[in-house]
Chain A
Amino acid sequence: MSDTHAQTAAFVRDSMIQQQDPPVSQSGAVKWVRENLFSSWLNIILTLASLWFIWAALSHLLPWMLRGIWQADSLAQCRAIRDELYGPDVSAACWAVITERWNQLLFGFYPQDLYWRPVLAFVLFLVAIAPVLFQGLPKKMLGFSLLSPFVIFWLIWGGSIWGPVAIALGFVVGWAVTRYLTPVIGVLPGVIATILAPIVYWLLVAAPLAGLLQDILPLGITPVGSKDIGGFMLALVIGVSGIVLSLPLGILLALGRQSDMFLINKVSVTFIETIRGVPLIVWLFTASLLLNYFLPPGTNFDLMLRVIIMVTLFASAYIAEVVRGGLAALPKGQYEAAGALGLDYWNSMRLIILPQALKISIPGIVNTFIGLFKDTTLVMIIGMMDPLFLANAIRATTDWNGVYWELFVFIGLCFFVFCFSMGRYSLFLEKKLRREHR
Chain B
Amino acid sequence: MSDLALDRQIDRSQMTVSDEVAIQITKMNKWFGTFHVLRDIDLTVYRGERIVIAGPSGSGKSTMIRCINRLEEHQSGTIMVDGTELSSDLKNIDKIRSEVGMCFQHFNLFPHLTILENCTLAPIWVRKIPKREAEATAMHFLEKVKIPEQAHKYPGQLSGGQQQRVAIARSLCMKPRIMLFDEPTSALDPEMIKEVLDTMVELAQEGMTMICVTHEMGFARQVANRVIFMDAGQIVEQNEPEAFFNNPQHERTKLFLSQILGH
Q: Which of A331, A337, A341, A433 contacts B98 (CB 8 A)?
A: A341
- B95 neighbours in A (Cβ, 8 Å): 342
Q: How far is the CB of B69 from chain A (nearest CB, A)?
A: 6
Q: Answer yes or no: B104 CB below 8 A from chain A CBs.
A: yes
Q: Is the CB of B170 within 8 A of A341?
A: yes
Q: Answer yes or no: B122 CB below 8 A from chain A CBs.
A: yes
Q: Answer yes or no: A49 CB below 8 A from chain B CBs.
A: no
Q: How far is the CB of A354 from chain B (nearest CB, A)?
A: 10
- B154 neighbours in A (Cβ, 8 Å): 436-438
Once A356-B112, A359-B112, A438-B157 are accepted as A-B contacts, the answer to whether A340 and B94 lie under 8 Å apart by CB is no
Q: Is the CB of A344 within 8 A of B94?
A: yes
Q: Is the CB of B125 within 8 A of A340?
A: no
- B112 neighbours in A (Cβ, 8 Å): 355-356, 359, 433, 436-437
Q: Is the CB of B156 within 8 A of A342?
A: no
- B126 neighbours in A (Cβ, 8 Å): 341-343, 347
Q: Is the CB of B97 within 8 A of A341?
A: yes
Q: How big is the B interface, by class? A: 20 to 34
- A340 neighbours in B (Cβ, 8 Å): 69, 71, 97, 100-102, 104, 171
How many angstroms from the CA of A344 to the CA of B91 in the assembled complex? 9
Once A333-B108, A359-B112, A438-B157 are accepted as A-B contacts, the answer to whether A341 and B94 lie under 8 Å apart by CB is no
Binary contact readout A163-204 vs B (1 if CB under 8 angstroms, 0 otherwise): 000000000000000000000000000000000000000000
**Residues of A316-346 whose CB lies within 8 A of B:** 331, 333-334, 336-344
Q: Answer yes or no: B190 CB below 8 A from chain A CBs.
A: no
- A356 neighbours in B (Cβ, 8 Å): 110-112
- A151 neighbours in B (Cβ, 8 Å): none
- A334 neighbours in B (Cβ, 8 Å): 108, 110
Q: How far is the CB of A368 from chain B (nearest CB, A)?
A: 22
Q: Is the CB of B97 within 8 A of A339?
A: yes
Q: Is the CB of B156 within 8 A of A438?
A: yes
- A351 neighbours in B (Cβ, 8 Å): 121, 125
Q: Answer yes or no: B39 CB below 8 A from chain A CBs.
A: no
How many angstroms from the CA of A28 to the CA of B49 in the assembled complex? 68
Q: How far is the CB of B183 from chain A (nearest CB, A)?
A: 13
Q: How far is the CB of A158 from chain B (nearest CB, A)?
A: 44
Query: Which A residues are within 8 Å of any B CB, using their own CB?
Result: 331, 333-334, 336-344, 347, 351-352, 355-356, 359, 433, 436-438
Query: Which B residues are within 8 Å of any A CB, using their own CB?
Result: 69-71, 90, 94-95, 97-98, 100-102, 104, 106, 108-112, 121-122, 125-126, 154, 156-157, 170-171, 174
Could you jot down 29 A-B contacts, CB within 8 Å?
A: A331-B108, A333-B104, A334-B110, A336-B71, A336-B108, A337-B108, A340-B97, A340-B101, A340-B102, A341-B97, A341-B121, A341-B122, A341-B126, A341-B174, A342-B94, A342-B126, A342-B174, A344-B94, A347-B126, A351-B125, A352-B121, A356-B111, A356-B112, A359-B112, A433-B112, A436-B112, A437-B112, A437-B156, A438-B154
Inter-chain pairs besides A342-B98, A355-B112, 15 sampled, C-beta below 8 Å:
A331-B106, A337-B104, A337-B108, A337-B110, A338-B110, A340-B69, A340-B100, A341-B97, A342-B126, A343-B121, A343-B126, A344-B90, A347-B126, A356-B110, A437-B154
